[in-house]
């Protein structure tokens, strides 16, 4: 009993030290493209690369339990650009003190892929796509409120005769597909 | 026959036998005697004043200081008024005289959920001794809370919390966050993260044993926080300000309006595309606009002081 109390007290302390830093941002996210530009009437890969701070996890896009808040990428519509696919990675099953059931969660680095369809009539130029990466993070003993990271992607459209340069190959080669 | 009333003159008291004249009152004392008495009185008065000063300086003031420090360690729990999920008014002040466990939680929070069955047991066990739990849900809407309340057979009041209440209680960073409030209305403990029910039970028993009119100087807080650590609470002057997070009480009404116009004319640096004033009003949690607004106030106050030559 004493050992349990001490262990939980120490765990609470660890949680509180982690939480006591003021408003806590535990997820960073950025939007990247597979090439430096896109042609009209073409498809281009884009991905959100997110990083979850050590000690924390966020829920799978399809959470194990229905009361958990899912991780989601929400994109604002832009004329002439269609989001064809949003692909979430597989979560990792982990057992936590607060749940009898192992939960599917994301930890560390994760990549959420998407495919953008650029419209036929899209004129060359720079366009801004907006979105947000929504999540709800916990550690072993406490949870932070639901939060989101605002995202901005500059989509450069060039004429079909302009060659495209591949970019962020490390992201797109490693991205998992559900 | 002689009239019995005529010719009878009563004799003055003290008149000696044989008809002696009454004694004159004693002459006043000579000035020399009264001066020494006055001097003695002055010395006595001085000694009394000196004695009072010493007593105040070295005995009374330190005792008051200790009591004040005790108060800082156990601050008064900010009162609030909410509506519980049954639609009834819930005021913290209604529970004065009881030991209250104030629990900030949410249905989407796994660590919060595992504590609830233990809390139900605590409420069952200690309610008739003057204890109650008050739950404050930080869910976005009451529907999941009502469903959870039924499913888990919760037996204590639960109300929906808001950002203002979070700020009053020092900023609720994570859930669950639980406060133990004594019969005297003071906060004796704050627990962040899931905590074993036995820890709460020990603290509740201590607080139940105390009289409501005395601060518990020797309360033994379980868990990580050492005795003497202060429980930080929000400043109502900042929380209830027309510019949330910025204390405007030192401004006149006119200066307040000038300040608000100043903020309304600046874009918030957090990237929200709102003015600084609007961002403060719609997003109290935005640390960037709060910092920026406070800096603007400091600049304005510094200009004011410089212009008045202070």
CATH number at A92 reads 2.60.40.1250
pLDDT at A105: 98
pLDDT of A136 higher than 80: yes
pLDDT at B3: 41
Which has more pLDDT, B67 or A100? A100
The candidate with the shortest Cα–Cα distance to B110, out of B191, B193, B187, B36, is B193
Domain assignment of residue A17, yes or no: no
Neighboring chain B residues of A97 at a CB cutoff of 8 Å: 111, 114, 194
Of A5, A20, A22, the CB nearest to B198: A5
The pair of structure tokens assigned to A34 is: 């597979």
Q: How many CB pairs under 8 A join A and B?
A: 104
List Cβ neighbours of B68 (8 Å cut-off, separation of 6 or more): none
Q: B281 φ, ψ to 5°?
A: -80, -30
Pick among B106, B110, B175, B223 to test the A interface (most A CBs inside 10 A)? B110
Contact B109 A97 (CB under 8 A): no
Which has more pLDDT, B216 or A154? A154
Superfamily of domain B81-208: Glutaredoxin (3.40.30.10)
Q: Which residues of chain B have pLDDT under 50?
A: 1-19, 21-22, 25, 28, 60-70, 223-228
Q: Which residue of B has its CA nearest to A142?
A: B193
pLDDT at B18: 44
pLDDT at A3: 54
Radius of gyration of chain A from its Cα atoms, rounded to whole angstroms? 20
Containing B100, the helix (H) or strand (E) segment is: strand B99-105
Q: Work out whether strand A92-94 and strand A103-106 pair parallel, antiparallel, or are unpaired.
A: antiparallel
Exposure b/e, B15-36, CB count within 10 A at least 16 = b:
eeeeeeeeeeeeeeeeeeeeee
pTM for this model (two decimals): 0.75
Of B108, B192, B224, the CB nearest to A142: B192
The candidate with the shortest Cα–Cα distance to B195, out of A98, A144, A95, A59, is A98
- Interchain contact B109–A (C-beta under 8 A): yes
pLDDT at A116: 93
* Total domain count, chain A: 1
Among B residues 199-218, those touching chain A with beta carbons less than 8 Å apart: 199
Of A4, A19, A138, the CB nearest to B110: A138
pLDDT at B15: 43
Cis peptide before B176 (omega within 30 of 0): yes
Alpha-carbon distance B231 to B193, whole Å?
A: 16
Pick among B103, B106, B111 to test the A interface (most A CBs inside 10 A)? B111
Contact A98 B110 (CB under 8 A): yes
The distance of Cα A13 from the centroid of its chain, to the nearest Å, equals 29
pLDDT of A118 higher than 90: yes
Domain limits of chain B? 42-73, 81-208, 236-307
Domain assignment of residue A81, yes or no: yes
pLDDT at B22: 47
The candidate with the shortest Cα–Cα distance to B287, out of B301, B272, B302, is B272
Neighboring chain A residues of B139 at a CB cutoff of 8 Å: none
Residues in A lying within 8 Å of B, measured between beta carbons:
1, 4-5, 8-13, 15-16, 19-24, 65, 67-69, 96-99, 103, 136, 138, 140-146, 150
Q: What residues make up the domain containing A133?
A: 25-172
Domain assignment of residue A41, yes or no: yes
What are the tens digits of pLDDT across the range A35-92?
999 999 999 999 999 999 999 999 999 999 999 999 999 998 898 999 888 999 999 9
Instruction: Give the minimum alpha-carbon distance from B226 to chain A in angstroms, rounded to a whole number.
Output: 11
For residues B271 and B279, is the Cβ–Cβ distance under 8 A? Answer: no
Neighboring chain B residues of A146 at a CB cutoff of 8 Å: 108
List Cβ neighbours of A61 (8 Å cut-off, separation of 6 or more): A70, A71, A72, A88, A91
For residues A69 and B108, is the Cβ–Cβ distance under 8 A? Answer: yes
Pick among A4, A8, A55 to test the B interface (most B CBs inside 10 A)? A8
Domain assignment of residue A154, yes or no: yes
Contact B287 A23 (CB under 8 A): yes
Neighboring chain B residues of A102 at a CB cutoff of 8 Å: none
Strands of A109-118's sheet in order across = A27-33, A42-52, A109-118, A81-87
């Amino acid at each position: 009993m004493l050992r349990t109390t001490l262990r939980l007290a120490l765990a609470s302390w660890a949680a509180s030290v982690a939480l006591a830093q003021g408003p806590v941002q535990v997820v960073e996210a950025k939007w990247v493209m597979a090439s430096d530009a896109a042609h009209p009437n073409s498809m281009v890969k884009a991905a959100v690369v997110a990083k979850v701070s050590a000690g924390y996890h966020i829920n799978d896009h399809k959470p194990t339990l229905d009361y958990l808040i899912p991780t989601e990428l929400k994109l604002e519509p832009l004329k002439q650009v269609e989001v064809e696919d949003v692909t979430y990675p597989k979560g990792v099953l982990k057992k936590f003190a607060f749940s009898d059931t192992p939960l599917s969660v994301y930890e560390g680095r994760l990549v959420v892929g998407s495919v953008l369809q650029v419209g036929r009539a899209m004129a060359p130029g720079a366009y801004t796509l907006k979105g947000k990466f929504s999540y709800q993070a916990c550690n072993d003993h406490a949870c932070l409120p639901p939060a989101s990271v605002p995202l901005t992607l500059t989509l450069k459209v060039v004429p079909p005769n302009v060659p495209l340069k591949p970019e962020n190959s490390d992201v797109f080669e490693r991205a998992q597909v559900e | 026959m002689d009239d019995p009333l005529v010719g009878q003159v009563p004799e003055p008291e003290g008149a000696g036998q044989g008809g002696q004249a009454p004694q004159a009152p004693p002459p006043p004392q000579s000035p020399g005697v009264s001066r020494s008495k006055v001097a003695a009185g002055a010395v006595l008065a001085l000694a009394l004043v000196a004695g009072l000063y010493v007593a105040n300086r070295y005995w009374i003031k330190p005792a008051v200081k200790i009591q004040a420090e005790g108060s800082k360690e156990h601050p008064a729990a900010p009162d609030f008024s909410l509506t519980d999920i049954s639609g009834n008014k819930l005021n913290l002040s209604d529970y004065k005289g009881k030991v209250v466990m104030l629990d900030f939680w949410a249905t989407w929070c796994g660590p919060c959920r595992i504590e609830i069955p233990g809390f139900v047991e605590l409420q069952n066990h200690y309610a008739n001794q003057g204890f109650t739990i008050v739950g404050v849900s930080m869910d976005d809407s009451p529907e999941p809370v009502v469903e959870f309340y039924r499913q888990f057979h919760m037996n204590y009041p639960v109300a929906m919390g808001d950002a203002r209440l979070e700020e009053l209680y020092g900023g609720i960073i994570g859930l669950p966050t639980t406060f133990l409030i004594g019969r005297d209305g003071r906060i004796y403990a704050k627990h962040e993260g899931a905590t074993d029910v036995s820890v709460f039970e020990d603290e509740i028993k201590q607080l139940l044993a105390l009289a409501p009119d005395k601060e518990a100087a020797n309360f033994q807080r379980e868990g990580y926080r050492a005795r003497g650590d202060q429980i930080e609470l929000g400043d109502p002057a900042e929380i209830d300000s027309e510019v949330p997070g910025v204390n405007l009480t030192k401004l006149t009404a006119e200066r307040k309006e000038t300040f608000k116009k100043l903020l309304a004319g600046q874009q918030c640096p957090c990237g929200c595309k709102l003015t600084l004033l609007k961002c403060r009003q719609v997003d109290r949690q935005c640390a960037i606009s709060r910092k920026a607004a406070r800096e603007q106030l400091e600049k304005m106050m510094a200009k004011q002081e410089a212009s008045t030559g202070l």
